[in-house]
Structure 1
Amino acid sequence: MKGLILIAKISIASGVSWELAKMLGSKHPYLAPLTVILSIQETIQHSAVYAFYRIIGTLFGIAATIFIIKHLEVNGWTIGLLLTIGMVLPVVLRLDKTIIHQIALTILLVFVFVHKTNYYVYDRIRDTIIGALVAIMIHIIIVPPNYVKEARRTLTQFGIDLGQLFKKAAYWVNNNCEFVEGENLIDDTTNLLQELHQVEKEFKKAEKSLRLNPFGRNKKQQLKQNEQFLFHLKHGYTYISGVLTTFNDWSETNSLPTVDPQKWAV
């Protein structure tokens, strides 16, 4: 479903941006949907950041090219020289690599097309801005993305698996703590740690998906509640992993304390 929604967004935004660019006098209206296709990312925030970088990269690339472009012939050596000159400063300033890529792309296309048409530079600036704005607006209006449900699903599964680990540990403690079985439980805690990392990754993704989302207030409340649940589960994981390690060490050295196993199991 998310894939179909993404396809619909890209298609609609591309068509709208093309027609809008033509209405505003563009001779190269394909530049607007090109920006749309590149800018629509997994979340609204990612899309806005990428669109901003594309605009900045476009402006920087044009500025680095426009004053000397007509004095050079179109060939591989001049293109390589221009790309080197245009990308040196952004690299020195340690700008995001997306900006550097957009600068390189702009230099290449401006260098080639400006010799054929005087409209290209103006069209590229205008159409890039049109495509970026349309992409963000469509992303916001049509089923804005959120990954709260996915985060909740992974959290629930982690809670179930953690509960199963507690049950296995209780059974193990209540049945004389065989060392081999303890090693298997330690392996389970390691696997569960990987699952916990995945849950945290999904929560970060969900949080990012709600940024710049005007319809995400209720989802933010749900995510906050889920974060409280995750907080308690993480404490539970820390407890069980520590206890299992201690009991397994006792089991290995045959130094289990003389306590009632049933109490520990409870």
Structure 2
Amino acid sequence: MDINKGKQKLELIKGLILIAKISIASGVSWELAKMLGSKHPYLAPLTVILSIQETIQHSAVYAFYRIIGTLFGIATTIFIIKHLEVNGWTIGLLLTIGMVLPVVLRLHKTIIHQITLTILLVFVFVHKTTYYVSNRIRDTIIGALVAIIVHIIIVPPNYVKEARRTLTQFGIDLGQLFEKVAYWVNNNCTFVEGENLIDDTTNLLQELHQVEKELRKAEKSLRLNPFGRNKKQQLKQNEQFLFQLKHGYTYISGVLTTFND
């Protein structure tokens, strides 16, 4: 119960931090875009909202994809846009043309989504204002940079502690499984209890996969994180601990199968 309350409290704190990051970055990017002469400053905070992801690396990758998709979408649209009227058929045609090459080149789906979004908005707004294209490029870059900088400066994501907590719980559960199997062997390996232990082993395997997932997430959270260097040693220790626990799981699983047979 205490563990669940701790997790809920931690998730609440992380949610509040995320809200603060998005709010601050959105306000800063809006004012910065406006200061640089943008007539559509909302494009900068829009990029901020989309770009702030789970880790700094994810945010940087998404921001990069958004910028590339924006440039590609503008390049696809700008040369033929003035010769077409705004209606459903021309929009559909432009979207088809803009997505064919990225799909053929097998670009990331995020880039393809940004291309289609850019084509749609540029096609609609450029007929109403001539400076939308330059505003979109500049404000997208502003929003991307501000999002990453704020993500780094204000409590950068670090999931090493959460990974350690999950790993520790797995170690405790594995130890309890060893005790149960030992008790079962000393009491003549009853069939019903053996089946229950097999179920416990299966559940523990799922828990092991979750631990591995958490460690990968923790490792990614330290990339591009200038304050995460001292956590890398802890992460390495966690990985070594997991390596030992995996050997323990393999051993007890084999022993259980042998005695059950």
- TM-score bracket relative to the smaller structure: over 0.9
- List gaps (5 residues or longer) in structure 1: 250-266
TM-score, length-scaled by structure 1: 0.93
- The C-alpha deviation readout for 1:223-254, integer Å capped at 9, x for no partner, is 111111111000000000000000000xxxxx
- Once residues 177 and 83 of structure 1 are traced to their aligned partners in structure 2, the CA distance between those partners, rounded to angstroms, is 66
1:3 to 12, 15, 19: 15
Task: Return the alpha-carbon distance in structure 2 between the equivalents of residues 183 and 115 of structure 1.
Answer: 70
Q: CA deviation at 1:186?
A: 0.9
- When the two structures are aligned, how many residues end up with a matched partner? 249
Residue 104 of structure 1 aligns to a residue whose secondary structure is helix
> Mind listing any 5+ residue stretches in structure 2 that lack a counterpart?
1-12
Cα deviations by residue, 1:91-129 (Å, 9 ceiling, x for unpaired): 000000000000000000000000000010000000000
Deviation at 1:47, TM superposition (A): 0.1
CA offset at residue 218 of structure 1? Answer: 1.1
Aligned to 1:154: 166
**What secondary structure does 1:18 align onto?**
helix
Per the alignment, in what secondary structure is the counterpart of residue 155 of structure 2? Answer: coil
Cα deviation for residue 219 of structure 1 reads 1.0
1:115-164 CA distances to partner (integer Å, 9 max, x unpaired)?
00001000000000000000000000000001111101110110000000
- The 3-state SS of whatever aligns with 2:158 is coil
SS at match of 2:31: helix
- Deviations along 1:170-209, one digit per CA (max 9) or x if unpaired, are 0011111112211111111000000000000000110111
Distance in 2, matches of 1:29 and 1:181, equals 66
**Corresponding residue SS for 2:156:** coil
Among 104, 114, 132, which residue is 1:120 paired with? 132
Aligned-residue identity in percent: 94
Q: What is the CA–CA distance in structure 1 between the aligned matches of 2:16 and 2:217, rounded to whole Å?
A: 20
Q: Deviations over 1:67-106 (max 9, x none)?
A: 0001100000000000000000000000000000000000
Q: What is the alpha-carbon distance in structure 2 between the residues aligned to residue 22 and residue 186 of structure 1?
A: 63
Aligned mate of 2:99, from 81, 87, 96? 87
Post-superposition CA distance 1:205-224 (Å, at most 9, x none): 10111100000011111111
| Partner Cα separation in structure 2 for residue 5 and residue 180 of structure 1 | 49
Question: Hey, what's the Cα distance between the residues in 2 that align with 1:131 and 1:125?
Answer: 10
How far, CA to CA, are the matches of 2:22 and 2:64 in structure 1? 18
Q: CA RMSD in A?
A: 0.5
TM-score (norm 2): 0.95
